[in-house]
Structure 1
Amino acid sequence: WYCKGRLATDTGTFVAQLSEMCSSFCLTFVGFCNVYAISINRNQIETLLKELHHIYPTGSKNHYRCPHYFDMATKIMRIEFLFYMIFYVYYNSAPVLLLLWEHMLNGYDLSSNTHTSTWFPWKVHGSPLGFGMAVLSITVGSSVGVGSSIVTQNIVCLLSFQLKLHYDGISSQLVSLDCRRPGVHKKLRIFIAYHCRILQLGDQVNDILNFVFGSSIVGAIIAICMSSVSILLLDFAFAFK
């Protein structure tokens, strides 16, 4: 930034490029935070999944809508995967497609624009090797963010629907509970203990994912603010990309 700032002639363009680079860095930072959160809480996540697997209802329990929640969770995870992959492919293929388009129209007069206005310690414009290394480095960095985000979102979806399954099963059993039958108070005690256990599991899920949610919110807010500065000072189409 110091070397680039000394050579910059237009302050507005320099600030816009700086904000755009910070926006991209924040998204990569969120990806690394997701990797850190999953790695540091790996044992807790495995223990929680084992506990949920242990109390998972069998097929004979009609109060649990297992196929319904399984289909919903699977559909949401598929939609999230397609959403991330579509934008990942678009984001990383745009510089190469733009370069091919310019080559077909202008011949050898190429702009060599990368994903964002990121500064590299090597020559990018006018150097095929430097341009390829720049595109590759940004592609690898974005793959870390996208991959970790997909894994994190799948874990959140899995744990959320597991808890929803048990909450729905408890409510269904309480509704069908007949207070006129003998021994119903024993079943009610079992339901209360079961409900307390599910609440404890929910607290564990919150403790594990608090760092993920916090880093995602902070990173997204900073990225949106930096992108807005880039949109106001630079090109709307380029910043929107």
Structure 2
Amino acid sequence: MSGAASLAPRQALGRGTEEGPLSSAGILAGMLEAAAAGEGEARPVLSRRIREEGMDLRQAYSALSASEHDRFSRLVSPELLEEIFSLSQELDPSLFYQGLHALGLRLSRGSRPELAMLFFSGIAQTLEQDFPGRPADHAALSSRARRELDALMGRGAIAPRVEHLLRGVAREASHPVMLASMGVAGFAFSTVRMGMLSRLLASSSGGAFTRGFGARALASTVGFAAEVPAFVFSGRGLNEALGLRQDWSLGAVGRDLA
């Protein structure tokens, strides 16, 4: 969050500071650069072109070198970049911060919580300062952003934190790899359990674990022992097939199986 903390009031949407007219393009450029700073890069290439050459954000991005394009493309998808370009054209301060908040919410509900935290932190820290052109509803906008930031960071009121955790669980549970792994694991459990139960019931001995509840409990235990590794290894294999490199060391696999 050191990048987010660098969003000073001078980047706020408004006019009349010692650095001249400021715009939503400048704020968004600063946020993109702050995100890049988290990756070890901190050159203000976008902000400089907007401030010194009068470019809008799309023009400043188009003027980047190939290496700079690669750097930012690792941070934001083409679809997200188009949303940012569109938002950078908003001239109304209140509508701009509302749009930025909505974008942060979509990122937090997707797979980019680190960018969402950057956006919420930028909104809160900027609007908590007094500057020319600050929207009249700045207190409500700042409070909403701070509440979402606290939820993402695991602090603050319990309800937003629970909501964020439940969103994360739902996202993971609906992932195609997760669904496929659950299917493989369920098949392994039912197959092994049925096979074990059939063998126990066919046994000529009349022990506690070959009849009734004991037989079903033992068969379920053996089935569960097969279900866990089936889930872990099928998930790892599918992720590997999709190009997501997996750590196959004994320690990493052991933690997944535990």
What TM-score range do you get, normalising by the shorter chain? Answer: under 0.3
Q: Which has the higher helix share?
A: 1
Q: Name which structure has the greater RCO, CA cutoff 8 Å, separation 6+.
A: 1
TM-score, normalised to structure 2's length? 0.24
TM-score, normalised to structure 1's length? 0.26
